Amino acid sequence: MALITFTNKGIFCKQGGFYIDPWRPVELAVTTHGHADHVKWGNKGYLCHELTKPVLLQRLGADIPIQTLPYNQEISINGVKVSMFPAGHVIGSAQIRLEYKGEICVISGDYKVEYDGISTEFEPVKCHTFVSESTFGLPIYKWQPQHEVFGQIKNWIEDNHEQQKTSVLVAYSLGKAQRLIKNLADYTDIYVHNSIANLNDGFIRAGVDLPETIRITPDIKKETLQKGIVIVPPALADGKWMKSLQQAATGVCSGWMQVRAGRRWRSADAGFALSDHADWPGLLSAIKATEAEKVFVTHGFVSTFSKYLNEIGIASEEVVTRYGTEDDEEETILKEAQN
């Protein structure tokens, strides 16, 4: 009997009686990370990595029952051994490893293989069954090393300073924002939107070594912002506040910026292909390292990627899930912004 099944509520482990990243309310939601398409409100219990806890408290409410695990420590739920391994996606993101009677299954949620300086580095886990994303599962997506991308970002910031423009980087409040902060803090003052500042506070309380940033408040002068850089989530990138800035230049940080069409769609002044998801070579190397006999592909270029895996001799199947809907994340941030 298979260790996991794909149901209309989410990924279900029958033997253990729990779900992984369910999108409808269940008894126990084992959670890979805190992005809105992977964790929903209303479950009776949550199990996540200890650094994902501050995110859930922030986003789902302070009174929800959360149990945590560090990486690489095993617990047993109804006889199923459950442990978590770093997914390298965002701070606290975890691959969920399940083991039952010698059968091993790993649900990776979202992941990237390059170390970003702030999220614990991705660790391949050998298993029989691997559940993989495929957000950037096309060979056109090959990331440059992050120090090169940050080089481009710094050049851009310098140009903006010269032209008296305010550099506004558009990045998800969970994940990309912390990555930018960690890699740019030595370079410039960083002003962050509330939704980012709140998450940062949670991470710092939980012991994450995150550099200092300044929360944007109405009394900070626009000229002051111009001297540093500003980070806002995508949901606010077109808002009124942005228009009130002096000569804002927006730079979107996302894997979609790899393609010209993606850059123009966001109509940003600059696009930086900086992603928290694995690129094409990253997906393939991660999957091969698991030595899995079967790979389920959940979200992204699902059918293409799955077809390719089968062609290169890795048995694969596409599954329908609710992951990969960036709108969910944007809505969450918008709600947070209003608080």
CB of 294 to another protein, least distance (A): 21
Identity of the residue, 139 or 151, whose beta carbon is nearer to another protein in the bound complex: 139
Contact 154, 161 (CB under 8 A): no
Enumerate residues 6+ apart whose C-beta is below 8 A from 338: none
Would you say 334 and 234 are in contact if contact means Cβ atoms under 8 Å apart? no
Min separation Cβ 206 and another protein, Å = 35
Interacting residue with another protein among 158, 317, 327, 331 (CB under 8 A): 327
- Min CB(234)–another protein separation in Å: 13
Q: In terms of CB distance, is 95 or 135 closer to another protein?
A: 135
Shortest spacing between CB 223 and another protein, in angstroms: 23
Burial of 176 (0-12, 13-18, 19+ CB in 10 A): buried
Task: CB nearer to another protein: give 38 or 266.
Answer: 266
**Contacts made by residues 21-26, CB under 8 angstroms, sequence distance 24+:** 21/107, 21/109, 21/323, 23/321, 23/322
- Please report how close the Cβ of residue 20 comes to another protein at its closest, in angstroms: 23
Region near another protein per CB under 8 A, out of 29-37, 71-79, 202-210, 267-275: 267-275
Restricted to residues 95-154, the positions that interact with another protein (CB under 8 A) are 138-142
Based on the shown chain and the rule CB under 8 A, indicate whether residue 301 belongs to the binding site for another protein.
yes
- Taking the C-alpha atoms of residue 230 and residue 150, their distance in angstroms, rounded to an integer, is 15
Task: Starting at the earlier edge strand, list the strands of the sheet with 94-100.
Answer: 75-77, 80-86, 94-100, 103-107, 129-134, 294-300, 316-318
Q: Are 121 and 86 in contact (CB under 8 A)?
A: yes
Candidate list 179, 263, 277, 299; residue touching another protein; CB under 8 A:
263
Q: Using CB under 8 A, which of 57, 269, 294, 319 touches another protein?
A: 269
Q: For another protein, give the closer residue by CB, 219 or 311.
A: 311
Stretch that binds another protein, among 25-33, 48-56, 201-209, 305-313 (CB under 8 A): 305-313
- Return the residue of 84, 270, 292, 309 that touches another protein, per CB under 8 A: 270
Q: Which residue number, 86 or 251, has a Cβ lying nearer to another protein?
A: 251
Q: Nearest approach, Cβ of 304 to another protein (angstroms)?
A: 5
Q: Which of 268, 295, 314, 333 binds another protein (CB under 8 A)?
A: 268
* 40-49 own/partner pairs: CB under 8 Å, 24+ apart: 47/18, 47/82, 48/92, 48/94, 49/84, 49/92, 49/93, 49/94
Q: Which of residues 227-256 bind another protein (CB under 8 A)?
A: 256
- Residues 6 or more apart whose CB falls under 8 angstroms from that of 13 comprise 3, 4, 19, 20, 80, 98, 105
Interface size with another protein, residues (CB under 8 A): 26
Contacts of residue 201, Cβ cutoff 8 Å, sequence gap at least 6: none
Closest CB 318 distance from another protein, rounded Å: 11
**Which range, of 29-37, 160-168, 222-230, 265-273, touches another protein by CB under 8 A?**
265-273
Rg (alpha carbons) of the chain, rounded to whole number:
20
- Choose, by CB under 8 A, the member of 61, 261, 313, 339 that binds another protein: 261
How far apart (Å, rounded) are the C-alpha atoms in residues 325 and 105? 24
d(CA 88, CA 31): 15
Which is closer to another protein, CB of 276 or CB of 318?
Answer: 318
Interface contacts to another protein, rule CB under 8 A: 138-142, 256, 258-265, 267-271, 301, 303-304, 307-308, 311, 327
